[in-house]
A = this chain, B = another copy of it.
Amino acid sequence: MIDELVENVINRQRRHIARSISLIEGGDDQAPELLQKLHKHTGKAWRIGITGPPGAGKSTLIAELTKKLREAGHRVAIVAVDPTSPFTSGAVLGDRIRMPDIEQDDDVFIRSMATRGSSGGLSARTADAVDVFDAAGFDYILIESVGVGQVELQIERVADSTLVVLVPESGDQVQAIKAGLMEIADLYILNKSDRPGSNSMLQSLYAAVSFKGKHNEDWDVDILQTVASEGQGISELILAIEKHRHFLERSGKLQSRRKSQLEERIRNKVYDSIQASLWTPQRLAYLEQALESAQRGDESPDSCASSIVQDYQNKK
Protein backbone atom coordinates (compact mmCIF):
# COMPACT_ATOMS: atom_id res chain seq x y z
CA MET A 1 0.00 0.00 0.00
CA ILE A 2 2.89 2.32 0.79
CA ASP A 3 4.53 1.26 -2.47
CA GLU A 4 1.45 2.36 -4.36
CA LEU A 5 1.39 5.67 -2.50
CA VAL A 6 5.08 6.23 -3.30
CA GLU A 7 4.45 5.44 -6.96
CA ASN A 8 1.61 7.93 -7.10
CA VAL A 9 3.57 10.66 -5.34
CA ILE A 10 6.41 10.25 -7.82
CA ASN A 11 3.81 10.43 -10.60
CA ARG A 12 2.73 13.77 -9.13
CA GLN A 13 -0.80 12.78 -8.11
CA ARG A 14 -2.13 15.61 -5.97
CA ARG A 15 -4.42 13.46 -3.89
CA HIS A 16 -1.59 11.12 -2.94
CA ILE A 17 0.78 13.97 -2.18
CA ALA A 18 -1.83 15.40 0.20
CA ARG A 19 -2.37 11.99 1.77
CA SER A 20 1.38 11.48 2.30
CA ILE A 21 1.71 14.76 4.12
CA SER A 22 -1.29 13.93 6.29
CA LEU A 23 0.40 10.66 7.29
CA ILE A 24 3.50 12.61 8.29
CA GLU A 25 1.58 15.26 10.18
CA GLY A 26 -0.43 12.64 12.03
CA GLY A 27 2.69 10.71 13.01
CA ASP A 28 1.33 7.59 11.29
CA ASP A 29 3.19 4.30 11.82
CA GLN A 30 3.70 4.00 8.08
CA ALA A 31 5.27 7.45 7.71
CA PRO A 32 8.87 6.21 8.22
CA GLU A 33 8.47 3.57 5.50
CA LEU A 34 6.94 6.14 3.16
CA LEU A 35 9.78 8.58 3.79
CA GLN A 36 12.38 5.83 3.41
CA LYS A 37 10.99 4.95 -0.02
CA LEU A 38 10.61 8.54 -1.15
CA HIS A 39 14.06 9.55 0.04
CA LYS A 40 16.00 8.34 -2.99
CA HIS A 41 13.82 10.56 -5.18
CA THR A 42 14.70 13.73 -3.28
CA GLY A 43 17.46 16.31 -3.65
CA LYS A 44 16.45 18.00 -6.89
CA ALA A 45 14.12 20.74 -5.62
CA TRP A 46 15.39 24.13 -4.47
CA ARG A 47 14.03 24.89 -1.01
CA ILE A 48 13.45 28.56 -0.29
CA GLY A 49 12.67 29.62 3.27
CA ILE A 50 10.79 32.91 3.59
CA THR A 51 10.58 34.45 7.02
CA GLY A 52 10.01 37.83 8.63
CA PRO A 53 7.63 39.56 11.02
CA PRO A 54 3.85 39.48 10.55
CA GLY A 55 2.71 42.21 8.16
CA ALA A 56 5.89 42.19 6.08
CA GLY A 57 3.98 40.92 3.08
CA LYS A 58 5.50 37.43 2.92
CA SER A 59 2.38 35.82 1.47
CA THR A 60 1.96 38.40 -1.29
CA LEU A 61 5.63 38.03 -2.12
CA ILE A 62 5.27 34.26 -2.27
CA ALA A 63 2.24 34.57 -4.56
CA GLU A 64 4.17 36.87 -6.94
CA LEU A 65 7.28 34.71 -6.80
CA THR A 66 5.16 31.69 -7.61
CA LYS A 67 3.58 33.40 -10.63
CA LYS A 68 6.99 34.34 -12.05
CA LEU A 69 8.41 30.87 -11.44
CA ARG A 70 5.37 29.36 -13.18
CA GLU A 71 5.89 31.66 -16.19
CA ALA A 72 9.31 30.11 -16.53
CA GLY A 73 7.71 26.66 -16.50
CA HIS A 74 8.67 25.61 -12.97
CA ARG A 75 6.45 23.60 -10.65
CA VAL A 76 6.06 25.24 -7.25
CA ALA A 77 5.03 23.93 -3.84
CA ILE A 78 4.21 26.29 -0.98
CA VAL A 79 4.46 25.10 2.60
CA ALA A 80 3.01 27.59 5.10
CA VAL A 81 4.21 27.11 8.65
CA ASP A 82 3.03 30.54 9.72
CA PRO A 83 -0.24 30.48 11.66
CA THR A 84 -0.88 34.09 10.59
CA SER A 85 -0.45 33.24 6.91
CA PRO A 86 -3.39 33.60 4.56
CA PHE A 87 -2.26 30.25 3.14
CA THR A 88 -3.29 28.58 6.38
CA SER A 89 -6.89 27.90 7.22
CA GLY A 90 -6.96 30.34 10.12
CA ALA A 91 -6.53 33.35 7.86
CA VAL A 92 -9.06 36.11 7.51
CA LEU A 93 -11.15 35.91 4.34
CA GLY A 94 -9.95 39.21 2.89
CA ASP A 95 -6.42 37.95 2.68
CA ARG A 96 -7.31 34.86 0.72
CA ILE A 97 -8.75 36.76 -2.24
CA ARG A 98 -5.33 37.48 -3.65
CA MET A 99 -4.39 33.88 -4.29
CA PRO A 100 -6.86 32.37 -6.82
CA ASP A 101 -4.53 32.58 -9.85
CA ILE A 102 -2.01 30.34 -8.18
CA GLU A 103 -4.46 28.23 -6.18
CA GLN A 104 -6.15 26.92 -9.31
CA ASP A 105 -2.92 26.04 -11.05
CA ASP A 106 -2.28 22.28 -11.19
CA ASP A 107 1.47 22.78 -11.01
CA VAL A 108 1.21 24.72 -7.76
CA PHE A 109 0.57 22.92 -4.50
CA ILE A 110 -0.24 24.91 -1.36
CA ARG A 111 -0.15 23.20 2.00
CA SER A 112 -0.18 24.58 5.51
CA MET A 113 1.37 22.70 8.39
CA ALA A 114 -0.30 22.45 11.79
CA THR A 115 1.92 24.36 14.19
CA ARG A 116 1.03 22.47 17.34
CA GLY A 117 3.77 20.84 19.36
CA SER A 118 7.39 21.75 19.91
CA SER A 119 9.43 23.79 17.51
CA GLY A 120 11.71 20.78 17.07
CA GLY A 121 8.73 18.61 16.14
CA LEU A 122 7.52 21.26 13.72
CA SER A 123 10.90 21.44 12.00
CA ALA A 124 10.95 17.67 11.69
CA ARG A 125 7.46 17.43 10.18
CA THR A 126 8.16 20.32 7.82
CA ALA A 127 11.41 18.78 6.59
CA ASP A 128 9.59 15.50 5.96
CA ALA A 129 6.77 17.28 4.10
CA VAL A 130 9.32 19.11 1.98
CA ASP A 131 10.81 15.72 1.06
CA VAL A 132 7.41 14.63 -0.26
CA PHE A 133 7.18 17.68 -2.53
CA ASP A 134 10.77 17.18 -3.60
CA ALA A 135 10.07 13.55 -4.57
CA ALA A 136 6.90 14.71 -6.35
CA GLY A 137 9.00 16.72 -8.79
CA PHE A 138 8.35 20.26 -7.63
CA ASP A 139 11.22 22.46 -8.80
CA TYR A 140 10.85 25.08 -6.09
CA ILE A 141 9.53 24.61 -2.59
CA LEU A 142 8.69 27.85 -0.80
CA ILE A 143 8.45 27.55 2.98
CA GLU A 144 6.75 30.44 4.74
CA SER A 145 7.39 30.97 8.43
CA VAL A 146 7.20 33.76 11.01
CA GLY A 147 10.58 34.90 12.20
CA VAL A 148 9.88 35.14 15.88
CA GLY A 149 7.18 33.91 18.19
CA GLN A 150 5.81 30.99 20.05
CA VAL A 151 5.73 28.51 17.20
CA GLU A 152 9.02 29.18 15.59
CA LEU A 153 10.29 27.03 12.79
CA GLN A 154 14.05 26.95 12.53
CA ILE A 155 13.70 27.62 8.84
CA GLU A 156 17.42 27.66 8.10
CA ARG A 157 17.41 23.97 8.99
CA VAL A 158 14.97 23.22 6.20
CA ALA A 159 15.88 25.71 3.45
CA ASP A 160 18.67 26.01 0.90
CA SER A 161 18.15 29.78 0.55
CA THR A 162 16.72 31.74 3.45
CA LEU A 163 14.97 35.02 2.62
CA VAL A 164 14.24 37.50 5.39
CA VAL A 165 11.43 39.90 4.46
CA LEU A 166 11.25 43.28 6.20
CA VAL A 167 9.32 46.54 5.71
CA PRO A 168 10.40 50.18 6.12
CA GLU A 169 7.72 51.17 8.65
CA SER A 170 9.46 50.71 11.89
CA GLY A 171 12.66 50.12 13.71
CA ASP A 172 10.95 47.03 15.12
CA GLN A 173 12.45 45.09 12.29
CA VAL A 174 15.96 45.98 13.30
CA GLN A 175 15.18 44.59 16.73
CA ALA A 176 13.91 41.46 15.02
CA ILE A 177 17.16 41.23 13.10
CA LYS A 178 19.14 41.49 16.30
CA ALA A 179 16.95 38.82 17.80
CA GLY A 180 18.29 36.20 15.46
CA LEU A 181 17.08 36.70 11.90
CA MET A 182 20.46 38.22 11.09
CA GLU A 183 22.28 34.94 11.52
CA ILE A 184 20.11 33.03 9.09
CA ALA A 185 19.52 35.43 6.17
CA ASP A 186 20.99 34.63 2.78
CA LEU A 187 18.99 37.43 1.20
CA TYR A 188 17.20 40.40 2.69
CA ILE A 189 14.09 41.70 1.01
CA LEU A 190 12.89 45.16 1.84
CA ASN A 191 9.28 44.83 0.78
CA LYS A 192 6.85 47.76 0.42
CA SER A 193 9.97 49.71 -0.44
CA ASP A 194 7.91 52.53 -1.97
CA ARG A 195 6.90 53.61 1.54
CA PRO A 196 8.44 56.29 3.71
CA GLY A 197 11.41 55.23 5.77
CA SER A 198 12.69 52.93 3.06
CA ASN A 199 16.05 54.64 2.72
CA SER A 200 16.88 54.68 6.41
CA MET A 201 15.82 51.05 6.69
CA LEU A 202 18.07 50.20 3.74
CA GLN A 203 20.96 51.96 5.47
CA SER A 204 20.38 49.98 8.67
CA LEU A 205 20.35 46.79 6.65
CA TYR A 206 23.56 47.61 4.77
CA ALA A 207 25.20 48.50 8.07
CA ALA A 208 24.02 45.25 9.64
CA VAL A 209 25.20 43.23 6.67
CA SER A 210 28.64 44.86 6.53
CA PHE A 211 29.04 44.47 10.29
CA LYS A 212 28.33 40.81 9.91
CA GLY A 213 31.25 40.44 7.56
CA LYS A 214 32.14 37.04 6.27
CA HIS A 215 30.31 34.88 8.77
CA ASN A 216 27.82 33.42 6.39
CA GLU A 217 29.99 30.92 4.54
CA ASP A 218 31.66 33.67 2.47
CA TRP A 219 28.41 34.56 0.81
CA ASP A 220 27.84 38.30 0.47
CA VAL A 221 24.31 38.70 1.75
CA ASP A 222 22.22 40.50 -0.84
CA ILE A 223 19.63 43.19 -0.09
CA LEU A 224 16.74 43.55 -2.49
CA GLN A 225 13.86 45.98 -2.74
CA THR A 226 10.40 44.84 -3.74
CA VAL A 227 6.83 46.09 -3.89
CA ALA A 228 5.27 42.65 -4.01
CA SER A 229 1.68 43.93 -4.23
CA GLU A 230 2.60 45.45 -7.62
CA GLY A 231 4.95 42.71 -8.72
CA GLN A 232 7.98 45.02 -8.55
CA GLY A 233 11.39 43.53 -7.95
CA ILE A 234 10.30 39.92 -8.28
CA SER A 235 12.42 39.11 -11.36
CA GLU A 236 15.47 40.59 -9.62
CA LEU A 237 14.66 38.47 -6.59
CA ILE A 238 14.57 35.32 -8.68
CA LEU A 239 17.94 36.23 -10.17
CA ALA A 240 19.35 36.79 -6.68
CA ILE A 241 18.07 33.40 -5.57
CA GLU A 242 19.66 31.79 -8.62
CA LYS A 243 22.91 33.57 -7.80
CA HIS A 244 22.82 32.17 -4.29
CA ARG A 245 22.03 28.72 -5.64
CA HIS A 246 24.98 28.79 -8.00
CA PHE A 247 27.22 30.03 -5.21
CA LEU A 248 26.23 27.13 -2.97
CA GLU A 249 26.50 24.59 -5.76
CA ARG A 250 29.84 25.70 -7.14
CA SER A 251 31.49 26.19 -3.77
CA GLY A 252 30.46 22.78 -2.50
CA LYS A 253 28.62 24.49 0.34
CA LEU A 254 25.27 23.17 -0.76
CA GLN A 255 26.40 19.67 0.07
CA SER A 256 27.82 20.61 3.45
CA ARG A 257 24.74 22.65 4.32
CA ARG A 258 22.39 19.82 3.39
CA LYS A 259 24.59 17.38 5.26
CA SER A 260 24.36 19.32 8.48
CA GLN A 261 20.59 19.69 8.02
CA LEU A 262 20.37 15.94 7.55
CA GLU A 263 22.45 15.37 10.67
CA GLU A 264 20.13 17.59 12.66
CA ARG A 265 17.13 15.69 11.35
CA ILE A 266 18.63 12.34 12.27
CA ARG A 267 19.59 13.54 15.75
CA ASN A 268 16.09 14.88 16.33
CA LYS A 269 14.52 11.64 15.20
CA VAL A 270 16.83 9.70 17.53
CA TYR A 271 15.86 12.02 20.36
CA ASP A 272 12.12 11.68 19.70
CA SER A 273 12.35 7.93 19.51
CA ILE A 274 14.28 7.66 22.79
CA GLN A 275 11.89 10.05 24.52
CA ALA A 276 8.98 7.86 23.42
CA SER A 277 10.50 4.70 24.92
CA LEU A 278 11.83 6.49 28.00
CA TRP A 279 8.69 8.12 29.34
CA THR A 280 6.53 5.09 30.01
CA PRO A 281 3.59 5.53 32.40
CA GLN A 282 5.70 3.83 35.08
CA ARG A 283 8.57 6.27 34.75
CA LEU A 284 6.22 9.24 34.62
CA ALA A 285 4.70 7.99 37.88
CA TYR A 286 8.18 7.65 39.35
CA LEU A 287 9.02 11.18 38.19
CA GLU A 288 5.94 12.48 40.00
CA GLN A 289 7.01 10.72 43.22
CA ALA A 290 10.59 11.89 42.84
CA LEU A 291 9.40 15.46 42.38
CA GLU A 292 7.61 15.37 45.69
CA SER A 293 10.62 13.91 47.37
CA ALA A 294 12.83 16.59 45.78
CA GLN A 295 10.47 19.31 46.96
CA ARG A 296 10.75 17.98 50.50
CA GLY A 297 14.53 18.19 50.06
CA ASP A 298 15.10 14.43 50.32
CA GLU A 299 16.39 14.09 46.80
CA SER A 300 18.13 16.44 44.39
CA PRO A 301 17.31 16.92 40.71
CA ASP A 302 20.56 15.08 39.92
CA SER A 303 19.71 12.03 41.99
CA CYS A 304 16.17 11.84 40.57
CA ALA A 305 17.55 12.10 37.05
CA SER A 306 20.17 9.43 37.60
CA SER A 307 17.59 6.99 39.05
CA ILE A 308 15.46 7.44 35.92
CA VAL A 309 18.41 7.01 33.59
CA GLN A 310 19.62 3.88 35.43
CA ASP A 311 16.18 2.35 35.31
CA TYR A 312 15.96 3.08 31.60
CA GLN A 313 19.36 1.60 30.85
CA ASN A 314 18.69 -1.55 32.87
CA LYS A 315 15.20 -2.38 31.71
CA LYS A 316 15.05 -1.47 28.09
- How close is A13's CB to chain B, nearest CB, in angstroms? 21
Interface-side segment among A65-73, A215-223, A296-304: A296-304
Question: Which residues of B have CB within 8 Å of A42?
Answer: 297
- How close is A265's CB to chain B, nearest CB, in angstroms? 4
Copies of this chain in its oligomeric complex: 2
What sequence of 0s and 1s flags, for each residue 262-287 of chain A, a beta carbon within 8 Å of any chain B beta carbon? 11011101110110011000000001
User: How far is A287 from B260 in the complex, measured between Cα atoms in Å?
Assistant: 11
Contact of A35 among B38, B302, B309 (CB under 8 A): B302
Question: Which residues of B have CB within 8 Å of A301?
Answer: 35, 39, 127, 262, 265-266, 269
Binding site of A, secondary structure by majority: helix, strand, loop or mixed? helix
Question: Which residues of B have CB within 8 Å of A196?
Answer: none
* Contact A180 B150, CB 8 Å, known A36-B300, A39-B300, A172-B171: yes
Question: Which residues of B have CB within 8 Å of A247?
Answer: none
A108 on the B face (CB < 8 A): no
A291 on the B face (CB < 8 A): yes
Chain A interface size, as a band, is 35 or more
Nearest 3 pairs between A and B by C-beta? A269-B305, A39-B300, A40-B297
Between-chain CB contacts (< 8 Å), 19 pairs:
A35-B302, A39-B294, A40-B297, A53-B175, A148-B148, A148-B178, A170-B175, A172-B175, A175-B176, A176-B179, A255-B295, A266-B290, A266-B291, A267-B305, A269-B301, A269-B306, A270-B305, A274-B278, A274-B312
**Residues of chain A at the chain B interface (Cβ within 8 Å):** 31-32, 35-36, 38-43, 53, 127, 148-150, 170-172, 174-176, 178-180, 183, 255, 258-259, 262-263, 265-267, 269-271, 273-274, 277-278, 287, 290-291, 294-295, 297-306, 308-309, 312-313, 316
